[in-house]
A and B are shown apart, each in its own frame.
Chain A
Amino acid sequence: GAVVSQHPSRVICKSGTSVKIECRSLDFQATTMFWYRQFPKQSLMLMATSNEGSKATYEQGVEKDKFLINHASLTLSTLTVTSAHPEDSSFYICSARSRTSGGAGEQYFGPGTRLTVT
């Protein structure tokens, strides 16, 4: 099956520092990757969509200068939270859609990264 990994799984950082989260598709080429944020007991909130080799498309209300997304290859996308603050603490999840996804355009999700900003 399609496997998506994320690294790190948990990270604690100090306020004002930057944190990079990696998302990798392990056994398929991901033409599109998505980054979500999830608060406790709430659904996933789409932050941005990135297509390989092009700039990410951010959802309304998401600061592109704060959440830097890079989709440098067909198997790797990164999310960098710059100048993190406690309110950025959340569960960040990436998903990937493969080049050969069927009509449903199935997205395969990573296991998530728990970010805690102190």
Chain B
Amino acid sequence: QKEVEQDPGPLSVPEGAIVSLNCTYSNSAFQYFMWYRQYSRKGPELLMYTYSSGNKEDGRFTAQVDKSSKYISLFIRDSQPSDSATYLCAMRGRDTGGGNKLTFGTGTQLKVEL
């Protein structure tokens, strides 16, 4: 079993739809949770991060973490064609001083259609 599971998609939605992207994980030590957006042939771009359980909102994006269920979500409201990309969840445990490597999901490919 992978430490982080993410549905690879592809997920296709019409413009203006609400998109829900999810990851589950098995390592209870994870405390920091991130969402990255990656356009084709580009490096990932950090969208949001949250610490422990709870919600965080930034414009059209909302990140949710439910540590009891080991489940994280990213919601995109009023989706736009420019949101078409691969979305990667990533997470890590407490700062160990050893570099704090991230564990990534496989990424969900999203396409927002006109």
Contacts and interface: CB of A to CB of B under 8 A. Distances in A.
Interface of A: 4, 6, 32, 34, 41-44, 46, 49, 51, 57, 91, 93, 95, 97, 103-112, 114
With most chain B CB atoms within 10 A of its CB, the pick from A4, A46, A51, A104 is A104
A29 to B, nearest CB: 15
Interface of B: 6, 8, 32, 34, 36, 41-46, 49, 51, 88, 92, 95, 98-102, 104-107, 109
A51 B42 CA distance: 24
The A interface is mostly helix, strand or loop, or mixed, namely strand
A60 to B, nearest CB: 12
A43 B106 contact: yes
A19 B8 CA distance: 32
B88 A44 contact: yes
A114 B42 CA distance: 10
A22 to B, nearest CB: 14
A114 B109 CA distance: 20
Given A104-B51, A112-B43, A43 B92 contact: no
Contact of A107 (B51, B98, B102, B107): B102
Contacts of B51: 103-104
A94 to B, nearest CB: 8
